[in-house]
Amino acid sequence: MTSPTPSPAPSPAAPPGGLGVDLHLDLSGAGSRRAALIGALREAVRHGRLAPGTPLPPYRTLAADLGVARNTVADAYAELVAEGWLTSRQGSGTRVAERVAAPSPGPVRTTAPPPLPYDLVQGKPDPAAFPRAAWLAAARRALTDAPDEAFGIGDPYGRTELRRALAEYLARVRGVRTSPERIVICSGAAHALRLLARVLGPGPWAVEAYGLPFHRGLLAGAGVATVPVAVDAEGARTADLPRHARAVLLTPAHQFPTGGPLHPGRRADALEWARASGGLVVEDDYDGEFRYDRRPVGAVQALDPDRTVFLGSVSKSLSPALRIGWMCLPGSLVEPVVAAKGLREPHTSALDQLTLAEFLVSGGYDRHVRRMRQRHRARRDRLVAVLAERVPGVRVTGIAAGLHAVVGLPSGTERAVLAAAARHGVAVEGLAPYRHPDAEPVPGGLPDGLVVGYATPPERSYGPALDALCAALREALEETRAR
- 450 found inside a domain: yes
Domain span at 354: 130-365
Question: Which among 211, 259, 234, 236 has a CA at the least distance from the CA of 408?
Answer: 259
Instruction: Quickly count: other Cβ atoms within 10 Å of residue 451's Cβ.
Output: 24
Cα 318 to Cα 310: distance, rounded to the nearest angstrom: 19
| Residue 7 counted as domain residue | no
Go through 408-422 and write b for each residue having 16 or more CB atoms within 10 A of its CB, e for each that does not. Answer: bbbeebbebbbebbe
Residue 166 identity: L
Residue 5 in domain: no
Looking at the structure, tell me whether residues 340 and 307 fall in a common domain: yes
Buried b (16+ CB within 10 A) or exposed e, 266-289: bbebbbebbeeeebbbbbbbbbbb
Cis status of the peptide bond prior to 257, with omega within 30 of 0: yes
Do 278 and 328 fall within a single domain?
yes
The rounded distance, in Å, linking the Cα atoms of 405 and 262 is 17
* Domains identified in the chain, total number: 3
| 229/338 same-domain check | yes
CATH number at 398 reads: 3.90.1150.10
Question: Does 107 fall in a domain?
Answer: no
- The CA distance from 483 to 476, in Å, is 11
In a domain, residue 118? The reply is no
The H-assigned helical ranges of 328-399 are 331-341, 350-361, 364-390
Q: Are residues 353 and 377 in the same domain?
A: no
- DSSP assignment letter at 123: T
- pTM (predicted TM-score): 0.84
pLDDT tens, N- to C-terminus, the chain (483 residues): 444 444 444 444 444 434 457 888 888 866 788 999 999 999 999 888 899 989 999 989 999 999 999 999 999 999 999 989 999 888 778 999 987 555 555 555 656 678 899 999 998 899 999 999 999 999 999 999 999 999 988 889 999 999 999 999 999 999 999 999 999 999 999 999 999 999 999 899 999 999 999 999 999 999 999 999 999 999 999 999 999 999 999 999 999 999 989 999 999 999 999 999 999 999 999 888 999 988 888 999 999 999 999 999 999 999 999 999 999 999 999 999 999 998 765 568 999 999 999 999 999 999 999 999 999 999 999 999 999 999 998 999 999 999 999 999 999 999 999 999 999 999 999 999 999 999 987 666 667 999 999 999 999 999 999 999 999 999 999 988 877
